[in-house]
A and B are shown apart, each in its own frame.
Chain A
C-alpha cells in the first residue's frame, strides 16, 4: 500500500515535470518552425549580404545586420569593463553594510526596469543633455546601461562561487588582495562572468525600445561606421516591416527573414558562450 503510494507520487511528479519540459520544447519548435517556414523564399545568402532596394520591398538586410552588430559592440565596450569592475568592488571590497545591501538590491531591480524607460533615459541623458544626438554612440550607451545590471549580478554571483579556499590559500602565501584576485579568483569566475555578459548582450541585441529614440533610423541608404551617425538595427527593422511599412503584406517574407536572422545571431552568441564556458570549466578539473 505504502509502496504503491510512493510510486504514485514519484510517477506523478515525474509526469508533471516531463509535461512542463515538453511544453517548453513544443513552443520553441513551433515558433522556430513558423518563422523559418514563412521566411522560406526570402532567406538566403544574398539576403544577408545585400542592401535593401525599392523602398525596402526587395534586397537584403546587410546594413541592418552590421548596424545591430555595431551598436552591440559599442554597448559591450561600455558595459563589460564597468560591469565587471562594479561586481569586483561589490563582492570583494565593499564592506557588508545596510548601505551596500541597498545598492545591491537596487542593481537587481534595475534589471527589471522596462526597456522603454531606459530608452527615455538615454534620450534625456545621452541625446539631449550630453548633446550626442541620435546616433550609434547614444544607442550603444543606452543599451549598455540596460545590460549593466545583468552583467554586475552575474559577475558577482560568479565571484561569490569561487571557493574560499582559493582566496585563503593564496593570501596565506603572502600575496596582496589584488594579486590574489587577478591570478586566482577572477580567472576562476570567468566562465560565469562570460555567461552573464553574453546572456545580457543577446537580450540587448533584440531590444527595440532603448534604441528607438536614441539612434535607430527607419531607413539609411548607405552604411556608415561613424559612431555619431544614425543606424538601422534588426529589431527596429522587424518592427517597421511588420507594422510601419507602406506595403506590410508585400514585405512579410522580409520581416520573417529578419526575425530568423535575429534568432540565428542570438543562437550563435549563445553557442559561443557555451563553448567558452565549457573550455574554461575543463581547463583544470
Chain B
C-alpha cells in the first residue's frame, strides 16, 4: 500500500550523501553509468539488482575503496555533506573514518576480540586504558555481543561463530564513530538466524548512523530498508539505476517493468 504524504515527509528528511551523474570504470570497462541518487540521513537505503549490475562498485565508490585496485576512473560527483569526496582536497583516510564499511565475508583481524574493537580507536590516538576498556564494552553491547564474549575478550576473534564475527566487525567499524555505514552483502555468508540478528541490529543502528546496504536478498531489502535502489545492466553490460524510491513503493508499486520482473523473481 502506498504511503500517504505525511509518511513520505517523515522519511525524506535530510540528504547526507548525493551522487550526481556518477560513472565509474575499470580500465576501459564502464561498470556503472550516470547514477544520480540521494541518500537520506539516518535511514537505511538498500541497493538491489542482479549479479554484475555494479551494486558493490557503487557502494565502494562512497568510501573510495574502488581506487585500491588501480587503473580506475570516474566522472560525475559524489557529495558527502555537500563536499565532493573526489575533490583533491579530500583526505581519503579521513573520509573512510566518517564512512565506514562492513564486508561480505566477516573479516576479523588475526587479533583478540578486544583488539579488534580497539584497532581503530588505538590507531586514531586513544591511549587511556579505562577509556579503551569502556570502548570495548560499549560497542560490544551495542552489537549485542557483550554477553556472548565478555569472558573471552582476549581470545582470538576467529574463535567465535561467523554471525558473531560479523557483529564484531560492525562493532569495530562503529568504534571509529562513522556517520555512514556501507554494508556489502553483510549477511550473505551467514545462516538465517545470524542474518536476522544483524538485521535487527541494523534497524537499531539506523537511529544513529546512515546505512547503505547492498543485498542479494530481496526480502531483506524489503524488511529493513526505508529506501531501495534497483540496479540493472543494459545490453552493453553497464550497470544503471533503474528505479529508486521508498522501499514500500518499490516493492508494492514499482514504476518500471524491469523492477517488477526482478522483484517477482522473473530474472536475477
Contacts and interface: CB of A to CB of B under 8 A. Distances in A.
A172 B110 contact: no
Given A169-B107, A284-B111, A285-B156, 16 more contacts: A96-B70, A166-B109, A166-B110, A168-B68, A168-B107, A169-B103, A173-B97, A173-B176, A174-B94, A174-B100, A174-B124, A175-B96, A175-B123, A184-B119, A283-B110, A284-B156
A100 interface: no
B245 interface: no
Interface in B161-203: 169, 172-173, 176
B172 A284 contact: no
A285 B65 contact: no
Contact of A183 (B97, B107, B112, B123): B123
A184 B68 CA distance: 17
A188 interface: yes
A171 interface: yes
Nearest to B172: A173
Contacts of B97: 173-174
Contacts of A179: 123
Interface in B108-153: 109-112, 119-120, 123-124
Contacts of A173: 96-97, 100, 119-120, 123, 172-173, 176
Contacts of B3: none
A170 interface: yes
Interface of B: 63, 65, 68, 70, 93-98, 100-101, 103, 105, 107, 109-112, 119-120, 123-124, 156-158, 169, 172-173, 176
What bracket does the count of chain A residues touching chain B fall in?
20 to 34
Q: Is the interface of A mostly helix, strand, loop or mixed?
A: helix
Given A165-B107, A284-B156, A285-B156, A172 B95 contact: no
Interface string A258-285: 0000000000000000000000000111
A285 B120 CA distance: 21
Interface in A115-171: 163, 165-171
A171 B65 contact: yes
Nearest to B71: A96
A95 interface: yes
A182 to B, nearest CB: 9
A123 to B, nearest CB: 43
A175 B101 contact: no
A176 interface: yes
B98 A174 contact: yes
A169 B63 CA distance: 12
